[in-house]
Amino acid sequence: MRAVVVERWGGPENLVQREVERPEPGLNEVLVRVHAAGVNPVDWKTRAGGALIDWGTVPAVGWDVSGVVEAVGPGVGMWRPGDEVFGMPLFPRQAGAYADHVVAPARHFAPKPANLTHVEAAALPLAALTAWQALVDTANVRPGERVLVHAAGGGVGHFAVQIAKARGAHVVGIAGADKHDLVRALGADEVIDYRAVRFEDVVSDVDVVLDGLGGETAERSVKVLRPGGRLITLPGPDDVPATQDGVRAVWMLVEPDHLGLREIAALVERGALKPVVETVLPLADAAKAHEIGERGRTAGKIVLTVV
């Protein structure tokens, strides 16, 4: 089968397409024929230098998958060949979603939302699960709370705005002016241009901040939280502020989550959550997808078509 792998750590030019042996499902595993694969910042960050990821012996790339079950291993009763599924298998271990097939535990997938194409569904898993696990499982956002979302027009951010609104929150989105119309359309109650003002000068009394940037942004975010507020930072454990001033600040790393995927699919099917896909490219253009992503200007997601 075809798979995009990393020849050596470094730039996008080190992504190459190779013919590799097709995996076979073992106990409690399924073989999924990949129709589309989402592209995420963690993909190019790990390609550049390995980062947190256990790449295994063949450094295959990608985690977001939408496709069709082709075979099931012993012990799997929840899937049959032909079922349409989506998921974020194995993260943070190697999954190799930029490929014709992936093998992973059966519960790392969920039924694909019926009202989405495979391209749209492939945009969901890692980014939407990150937003869900941060805002719902970690912060437990409640109706009427004020939620601030950094990078609100990006991959995780555009899902976070919609999930917070679905939870009944008042949402403040931080984004460049070029993404304000999008962020408002997603449901944000307030939108702030981070280039024009310092957000901590114009926002206060926030209950939850979702920080996908880290660094000084996390430090500054503490200032806008009310006592007892929650800061969830995503880039890494070193981005948790040393001084927390009576608030809770945690680093969160997303993980495979069958029930979370089902909740996300339910939101999609009732019209409360929609993936924004800005760029669609064929598998052979994986390096180009990384080049575009690394510019940091994408609204929503980039997706590779495999079938």
Residue-wise pLDDT tens digits, 151-179: 999 999 999 999 999 999 999 999 999 99
User: Does one domain contain both 88 and 9?
Assistant: yes
Q: What pLDDT score does 56 carry?
A: 56
160 and 136 part of one domain: yes
Q: Return the CATH number at 207.
A: 3.40.50.720
- The answer to the question of residue 174 being in a domain is yes
- Tell me: pLDDT of 2 over 90: yes
Q: Is 161 helix (H, G, I), strand (E, B) or coil?
A: helix
Residue 116 inside a domain? The answer is yes
| Residues 118, 131 within the same domain | no
In-domain check, residue 267: no
Residue 264 lies in a domain: no
Ramachandran quadrant class, 56 (left: phi over 0; alpha: psi -120 to 50; beta: rest) = left
Q: How confident is the model at residue 48 (pLDDT cuts 50, 70, 90)?
A: confident
Q: Does some domain include residue 14?
A: yes
How many Cβ atoms are within 10 Å of 17's Cβ, its own excluded? Answer: 16
CA dist., res. 230 & res. 210, Å (int) = 9
Q: Are 216 and 287 members of one domain? A: no
CA dihedral angle for residue 203, residue 206, residue 211, residue 216, rounded to 10 degrees: 50
Residues 10, 52, single domain; the answer is yes
Q: From CA 248, how far away is CA 231, in angstroms rounded?
A: 6
One domain, residues 16 and 111: yes
Q: Is the CB of residue 79 less than 8 Å from the CB of residue 107? A: no
Largest CA distance in the chain: 58
pTM over 0.85: yes
Q: Give me the pLDDT at residue 46, please.
A: 85
Does residue 139 form part of some domain?
yes
The residue whose two tokens read 């979702």 is 210
My answer on whether 6 and 118 are in the same domain is: yes
Looking at the domain assignment, is residue 217 inside a domain?
yes
Residues in the chain: 307
How confident is the model over 80-125, as pLDDT tens digits?
A: 999 999 999 999 888 999 999 999 999 999 999 999 999 999 999 9
pLDDT for res 50? 59
- The closest of 259, 250, 305 to 279, measured between CA atoms, is 305
Contact indicator for 139, 206 with CB cutoff of 8 Å = no
Q: Are residues 23 and 113 in the same domain?
A: yes
Distance CA 119, CA 66 (A): 7
What domain range is 192 assigned to?
127-251
Q: Comparing C-alpha atoms, which of 63, 23, 26, 25 is closest to residue 47?
A: 63
Same domain, 141 and 51: no
What the block records as the tokens of 161 is 């705005």
* Per-residue pLDDT, 7: 83
Beta bridge partners of 302: 39, 279
| pLDDT at residue 242, rounded to an integer | 84
If one counts every other C-beta atom within 10 angstroms of the C-beta of residue 115, the result is: 13
Q: Going by C-beta distance under 8 Å and a sequence separation of 6 or more, which residues neighbour residue 57?
A: none
Same domain, 154 and 195: yes
Distinct helix (H) and strand (E) counts, the chain: 9, 15
Domain count, the chain: 2
Task: Write out the two tokens for 180.
Answer: 């304000």
Rounded Cα distance between 100 and 120, Å, is: 18
Quote the mean pLDDT of the chain: 95
Together in a domain, 134 and 73: no
Asked if residue 144 and residue 112 are part of one domain, the reply reads no
Q: What is the pLDDT of residues 140-149, one digit of tens each?
A: 999 999 999 9
- Cα–Cα distance measured from residue 302 to residue 279, given in angstroms and rounded to the nearest whole number: 5
% of the chain with per-residue pLDDT over 90 = 90
Going by pLDDT thresholds of 50, 70 and 90, the confidence category of residue 21 is very high
In a domain, 58, yes or no: yes
